[in-house]
């Protein structure tokens, strides 16, 4: 990690999916740049571990379900009580679902993917926009994916959800601009996270390493992203360096979608 430049001094960030790889990496970056951070996830033990790993008195956590409107309101209230308000939301919580053809996909599982990945973002926007507007404006960054730009067989609900949040972002960017709230998506290629290990195994349980190698060869830079690669883009979009950037899709994919 580079030395801090204080790009988020005095800012308060709420990070959903805060116990996961990208959430943790973003929290480390944000704290290093001067922000107070509230990590949000379902698993309290994983949140406590993430907070201990970051090791700062400017990070705390709360358990919450992003598919619950009451929980989204509560996380904004907790951030305001602990830190005085909210300036940044990283709407980062998400699940991959199953690796199954559309004709065989379980309907309840489809609903779960859409609830977490789309409704969760919608509710985050619903409650974060007014909270951030109270502070005079700020930034919302939504984690989408290269799957939000291209299709992929076997993971149609996930692909659908990541396309959907781009539409949410574009609408929210227009609605919230007058309040000084910027909204953008970050669209990563495969990242070195537990989620990708599950996807690789789901695509070919007998040869997950072969799946990994095939994906890697589709990335011109020749590797998966590290979580910190994505966190650095999130930091830019959350900082005042991006104060004229809203309504945009930021691919962080090593050139994967360039062809």
pLDDT at 138: 98
Mean pLDDT (10-residue bins), the chain, 259 residues? 79 97 97 98 97 96 98 98 98 95 98 98 98 98 96 95 98 98 95 77 78 84 93 98 98 92
Interatomic CA distance for residues 212 and 146, integer angstroms: 16
pLDDT at 3: 57
Instruction: Out of 83, 105, 158, 224, pick the active-site residue.
Output: 158
Question: Is CATH 3.90.1170.30 correct for 12-188+226-244?
Answer: no
Interatomic CA distance for residues 157 and 108, integer angstroms: 11
* pTM of the predicted model as reported, rounded to 2 decimal places: 0.94
Give the number of other CB atoms < 10 A from CB of residue 198. Answer: 15
Helix runs in 177-226, H state only = 194-203, 208-217
pLDDT digit string, tens, across residues 86-102: 999 999 999 999 999 99
Segments of the chain assigned to CATH 3.40.50.720: 12-188+226-244
Coil, strand, or helix at residue 58?
Answer: coil
> Is there a catalytic annotation at residue 83?
no
For the chain, strand residue ranges (E) read 12-16, 36-41, 59-63, 88-91, 138-143, 181-188, 249-252
């Amino acid at each position: 990690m580079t030395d801090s430049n204080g790009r988020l001094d005095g800012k308060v960030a709420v990070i959903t999916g805060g116990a996961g790889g990208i959430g943790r990496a973003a929290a480390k970056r944000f704290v290093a740049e001067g922000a107070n951070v509230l990590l949000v996830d379902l698993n309290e033990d994983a949140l406590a571990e993430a907070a201990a790993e970051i090791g700062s008195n400017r990070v705390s956590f709360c358990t919450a379900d992003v598919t619950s409107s009451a929980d989204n309101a509560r996380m904004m209230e907790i951030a305001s009580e602990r830190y005085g308000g909210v300036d940044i939301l990283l709407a980062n919580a998400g699940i991959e679902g199953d690796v199954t053809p559309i004709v065989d996909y379980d309907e309840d599982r489809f609903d779960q993917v859409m609830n977490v990945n789309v409704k969760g973002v919608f509710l985050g926007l619903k409650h974060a926009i007014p909270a951030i507007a109270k502070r005079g404006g700020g930034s919302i960054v939504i984690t989408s994916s290269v799957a939000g730009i291209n299709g992929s067989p076997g993971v149609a609900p996930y692909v659908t959800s990541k396309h959907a949040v781009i539409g949410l972002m574009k609408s929210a960017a227009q609605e919230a601009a007058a309040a000084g709230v910027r909204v953008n998506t970050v669209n990563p290629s495969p990242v070195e996270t537990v989620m990708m290990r599950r996807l690789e195994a789901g695509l070919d349980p007998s040869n997950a390493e072969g799946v990994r190698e095939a994906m890697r060869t589709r990335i011109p830079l020749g590797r998966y992203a590290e979580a910190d690669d994505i966190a650095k883009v999130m930091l830019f979009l959350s900082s005042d360096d991006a104060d004229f950037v809203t309504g945009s899709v930021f691919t962080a994919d090593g050139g994967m979608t360039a062809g």
